[in-house]
Amino acid sequence: MICDTCGDVFEARAGAITCSTRCRVARHRRIARFAPKRMLEANRWVRHIDKRPVTPDGGVASSTAPRSWSTFDAAIKSNVGQGPGFVLNGDGIVCVDLDSCVINGEPSTWARILDLFPDAAVEVSLSGRGLHIWGTGPNVSRVFDVDGKRVEVYADKRYIAVTGEWMRRNDLVDLSDGLARLGVA
């Protein structure tokens, strides 16, 4: 069998996917850091090729077809496409997507919108120039401008490419107050 963490070959043991305790712990830490626990536990993962969702085996996936979604483990183990994505299905997990707000690795002044979500999980987007604010909130999807910059709020029928590059690695918190201050019902 091949170790899921280091790639070494090891003798198969019942249920083992790593070759040693060290690799098992390293795998656990890598996964725990990748996304908030509620997201990791949800079977709503896909892969993506040029921003199109695909299944871990490369088939067509859809943000509205649950049978095309998979577990986090299946998505993270796959080498298809450019990486994993998470499907929003209206169950309360919300993503606020801020484009072009990171300059030289730091949030720009217009990204003060982050102050509305002080305890939220915030990840750097795939481009490295945007941010995803993850949390819970109302089942509302909306696109609008703040100071001439585009803000996207998604809660349903979308998938978001997930990088696991966290500026703030927190559990999912309620974003409702901050969204209300932005005028999102």
What are the pLDDT digits (tens) for 53-107?
999 999 999 999 999 999 999 998 898 999 999 999 999 999 999 998 888 888 8
Single out the residue of 88, 83, 87, 89 nearest to residue 47, CA to CA.
Answer: 83
User: What's the pLDDT score for residue 109?
Assistant: 74
Residues 6 or more apart whose Cβ sits within 8 Å of residue 52: none
Where the chain has pLDDT below 50, the residues are: none
d(CA 48, CA 69): 12
pTM over 0.95: no
User: What's the pLDDT score for residue 167?
Assistant: 86
User: What's the pLDDT score for residue 2?
Assistant: 82
Residue 152: CB atoms within 10 A of its CB come to 17
Cβ burial, residue 115 (10 Å; 0-12/13-18/19+): exposed
User: What's the pLDDT score for residue 31?
Assistant: 56
How many Cα neighbours within 13 Å face the side chain of 120? 26
d(CA 61, CA 53): 5
- DSSP H stretches of helix in the chain: 21-34, 37-41, 72-77, 176-181
d(CA 129, CA 131): 7
User: What's the pLDDT score for residue 26?
Assistant: 64
Residues 6 or more apart whose Cβ sits within 8 Å of residue 125: 97, 99, 131, 132, 161, 163
DSSP state of 163: -
Q: Which two tokens stand for residue 61?
A: 């996936």
Percentages of the chain per state (helix, strand, coil), in multiples of 5: 25, 30, 45
